[in-house]
Structure 1
């Protein structure tokens, strides 16, 4: 009767899950998992793979599947009842995770297994599972004693609760804000499809909100400067003392940083950054800082040039002599239109959601020789679509559930998560089930949903994450992609996939004008390509700003006040940024990646992995260049042979070996920064002179 208690091999009926099912299922599954750990840890129990690892995995897999479903529903169809059920179970889940990590008996069994004669007979995957488990036990405080052990358990529980509350405040603050406009003249310049989506035909009013399908086009196109300022202020002060104080995250940021510093100290590390980097490719916080400052040195001259051009254009063409942050998106779009003679709204007409999905699936088919076939699912809302991922011979590899549209009660942003990972148990292979979630504008007035080119890039990005799990050939849960690939390499497949959104052949398959059905014209593509690196300097230093702020606040020896957090951010901006926001801007208060999304001391991973992904894509450019030289024609980067090698060396192996080894196996050498700089138009030949 409870859809969360079905066997792990069966499909969850998402439409049937109710809040009470979560509160019933989790205690039941926790008890079973806890009993399995206790049994496996008994002194007289042999330390074998089957009796330790298999036994615990088999009991805990249904628990983590049920909790993953609960967490996903909490993020995509959030209701007061669902939130209450999720929060009611969160302490028990946190306590169990901490209990397992601190379980001396289970840790002893893993050590005995490592030291046993059986260990040398285990497969390389299983040996790596044992090695990573022993590392994670130590990082989970298993060797702590007495008061330190109790303090660690308490700390872990508090961190989970603080993270959840931070996320709730951002969601609630975003959902709570709206602005009703009765005079459509104030919305002059905003695209018609956006106006239609926010119009109340009965009241003849337009309700603005802070979700991206509304917020971004208003900031880009609304001619009313005061309206742009109003939205900018609301967005920039979400979940802070500058906005609705009911959702203020100030104290939660302080608590989070204090708890993280305490956790690091308990485990014998100088600071939280040092602790987190134990499981990363980067060897230490200073290496990360040096990497970010090297990138700043390369990018900042271009960023200064970008801003100088924007300021000059605002003055000469728009009569704006005091360029403000709420003008940036608007002026940038006008400059883009003037310089490259096209607008994002013009491009959007060619990217209908059905066509983009069809084109994405064709790209995946060409590169990796798999098909995505529609598959009936009982989703959490009617617009969820399901697909089976199959080999060309018809063998099913996994299942993908896609939810693309923004709505009330749905967490903002885009992400991929899993209901379950690939796992071989005896002769049975349990296939992965993956969620792909975005927040695009939905269909409107009988017309298909239209995506911006940035939306398309986001979709390809998330598809890369999904493929990392769906194309896995890893048999063991402990080395699946999402459980063990180093955090600063996990973005490699996703950022790699973004590159194909600029390939002419790919764009032909992705586009069909919403009214005429015509594909993207070559002249418009050429303009888009010319504009590809428009303001890439400013965009790069912005990402470096976030990353450097993150690593520096997590290098503190103890917790810091919110005033010190803002002071650190200000210092980073003085070093890195070319655009300095107003003093009332409260960016950290809604920075969910850091305080609710697992990226604390790890936001640099986006740029770190972009070095890897750009270098990896260069292999496809080289294949295209070789092909073109033989045919005397420009070739697509959609090269199947290189794609299959990427699948084999990167996607299929997950965390079965260190990411650095996987990259070297694919590329034949260490990664280089060159391709990233070239892809962003920041090469020495193009470097502007220093102002």
Structure 2
């Protein structure tokens, strides 16, 4: 096909612009090249502009269908191109992809503002909103009207022209700052490598960890050496097992100082500008702080409610962490260590676990091969929701590591699931779930979802498959909970499918973690990768007894990051802000002990500087109140009870943002959540 773009220049065939001629109409990853994105973005914006013009200039009176649904379905091409580009930028980013991101960010910002500030369009939306109670709309339709109207208001549609012009400039700057932060962090992650060339440097490390480091070295053309990186799957085992305290300090210090090295990748000035422009935008829109603006559409509603929850947990968590520290210091003292530091925590925590519970993580790993954990996850999804997963090889993938599955229920197609598990230099850190196509059912046309999971797990080494840690196993179950939310979605519209409050979106992922180490589930999937022997009952018992181990540390480091996030975004003046000083003072006021660093320090806290969790990192613990309370029902009825699973699917997993989040939760649980199960699960009570 041949397409003419906005500039009238003839464009070559572009796989992003036509119908996807692929199985299940998944993106044609094998045909997409970097040079295809800019023409596709330009054409997508052009088509979206035409859609908006048609809605705004419609001579008919505004109705739910010709205004609200028309808006919800507008810009289909631009939405498709954006989803593909930004998802792929997270997993295969390079200089060319970053260059495109830098160019397209201000384009998309301007385009979004052009829609928001289109006065005739907003008047039509407002007209439907004002009479929504008289239109006979169902719950989801009414919710769609409210979400779209609120989007316009929160984006400045009701401001005067002068303030709208200010907002345009702010939005453009923020779009570029988010790109810059991500580029700096990716560069910082890639810049550090702990390269070891002496066997004595490997003291304490299990053979599997050593083999993994050798494989990483080989990939980076350093045969005969061992390389450890700042990826969690590399640094965490090193910190846990290396008896070389000097090397633990070296790698952990590098990890903590990412984006804070006063070099070209330093993020402090970027962060200060992000805070400045976010605050300016929030003030323009009538909010005192950025947190007030952001939380207004979340379950929590106000910063005061968030601080109340976090502070309720802070003191008991810190007290438990201090007891954990005392246990470790006693052992460390025998090694002659009198200045116990943050790079010692993982190492001595593992020693305490072994002493208290006779449990060594390396005893566990052989039973948690990636293949077996995947089988366990699929088993749970089948038992709970009737889903089947069949690996397929006839769909294009974006990288050789990606595996694809067709998901079905009683033989009926549900969706496509992509998964990929291992770190690369061009890939973001951590783990996440996203989608390349959202489920919708507009005007009776059902569109099946395409969901994707990306992780950074321990790699296979030689003949040894990828053997996951307990943390990695739990992470996999977590991300798969998000995947279930996408695969089982059954909403009608685009907006009601994805506009889930930040502090509710983690409920499906976190409740799914509860099945990971349940003894009933472990019997099914936790089998030795060599012998096929099921995990011994004695080992499962030890895992159960140690499930609250180190929870003071885990909770405290998480809460410290959450409180740091909220402290930044409740600032009312950032003009003279010193980032390093503010972080130190904030953590000092909390009483955080020096042996614990926040889970994310300021300069590499990607969640909150453009990652969708600004003033929102608390969402994980907010949702944990829900998931701990909700799983109590499964425990009462049976963890695979069909009626309970159906209720969770019908009231939460399938509903997206089709109703108020608390209303959906209460329909599932029968009451508002209690804090008690969370305190009990974390051993804080």
TM-score range, shorter-chain basis? over 0.9
Q: TM-score, normalised by structure 2?
A: 0.93
2:333 is aligned with 1:331: no
Is contact 1:489–1:609 with CA below 8 Å preserved after alignment? yes
In the TM superposition, 1:175-574 aligns within 5 A as 175-199=190-214, 200=217, 203-241=223-261, 245-316=263-334, 318-375=335-392, 376-391=394-409, 393-480=410-497, 483-561=498-576, 563-564=578-579, 566-574=581-589
Secondary structure of residue in 1 paired with 2:620: helix
Report what 2:628 is aligned to. Answer: 614
Deviation at 1:516, TM superposition (A): 1.5
Is 1:168 aligned to residue 183 of structure 2? yes
What TM-score results when the alignment is normalised by the length of structure 1? 0.93
Matched, 1:127 2:139: no
* Higher alpha-carbon deviation: 420-429 or 668-677: 420-429
Cα offset, 1:452, TM superposition: 0.8
Deviation per CA, 1:514-563, whole angstroms, max 9, x where unpaired?
Answer: 22221211111111111111121222122111111111211111325552
Contact 1:292 1:544 in 2 (8 A): yes
CA drift of 1:136 comes to 1.3
Aligned to 1:144: 159
> 1:59: how far off?
3.3
Partner residue in 1 for 2:604: 590
SS in 1 for 2:684: coil
Distance in 2, Cα, partners of 1:578 & 1:295:
16
Distance verdict in 2 for CA 1:478–1:545, change over 3 Å = same
Deviation at 1:614, TM superposition (A): 0.3
**Which runs of structure 2 are paired with 1:68-87 in the superposition (5 Å)?**
68-87=83-102
Question: Which residue matches 2:18?
Answer: 6
Q: Give 1:620 deviation, angstroms.
A: 0.8
What CA deviation, in whole Å up to 9, does each residue of 1:39-76 have, x standing for no partner? 10116243123322333333312211211110111110
CA contact (8 A) 2:68 2:148 kept: no
Query: Post-superposition shift, 1:174?
Result: 0.5
In the superposition, relative to structure 1, how do residues 568 and 179 fare at CA in structure 2: closer, same or farther (>3 Å)? closer
Check the 8 A contact 2:583/2:602 in 1, yes or no. no
For 2:9, the equivalent position in structure 1 comes to: none
Deviation at 1:193, TM superposition (A): 2.0
**Contact 2:341/2:594 (8 A) holds in 1:** no
Contact 1:101 1:140 in 2 (8 A): yes
What is the alpha-carbon distance in structure 1 between the residues aligned to residue 73 and residue 132 of structure 2?
A: 24
In the TM superposition, what whole-angstrom CA distance separates every residue of 1:245-265 from its partner, at most 9, and x where no partner exists?
A: 121001001000001110111
Contact kept? 2:560, 2:592, Cα under 8 Å: yes
CA distance in 2, matches of 1:620, 1:184: 50
**Aligned positions of 1:650-661 closer than 5 A:** 650-661=652-663
Q: Contact (CA 8 Å) 1:33, 1:56: kept in 2 or not? A: no
CA distance in 2, matches of 1:562, 1:253: 10
Runs (5+) with no aligned partner, structure 2: 1-12
Structure 1, unaligned stretches of length 5 or more?
Answer: 625-636, 684-691
Which residue number in structure 1 is paired with residue 77 of structure 2? Answer: 62
Indicate how the Cα distance of structure 1 residues 590 and 117 shifts in structure 2: closer, same or farther if over 3 A, else same. Answer: closer
Work out whether residues 341 and 595 of structure 2, in 8 Å CA contact, stay in contact via their aligned partners in 1.
no
> Aligned pair count?
664
Kept in 2: contact 1:237–1:586 (CA 8 A): no
Distance in 1 of aligned mates of 2:511 and 2:634: 10
Separation in structure 1 between the aligned mates of residue 117 and residue 374 of structure 2, nearest angstrom: 45
The whole-number CA distance in structure 2 between the counterparts of 1:274 and 1:351 is 43
Which of 596, 601, 618 aligns to 2:615? It is 601
- Aligned partners of 2:597 and 2:59: how far apart in 1? 65
Q: Is the 8 A contact 1:544 1:576 kept in 2?
A: no
Mapped partners of 2:595, 2:153: distance in 1: 42
- Report the alpha carbon displacement of residue 582 of structure 1 after superposing the two structures with TM: 8.5
Q: 1:79 to 1:214 in 2, by over 3 A?
A: same
Give me the whole-angstrom Cα distance separating, in 2, the residues matched to 1:596 and 1:648: 32
Partner of 2:43: 28
Which piece of structure 1 moves more, 187-196 or 257-266? 187-196
Shift of the alpha carbon at 1:144?
1.1
Verify the 8 A CA contact 1:492 1:609 in the aligned structure 2: yes
Shift of 1:576: 4.5
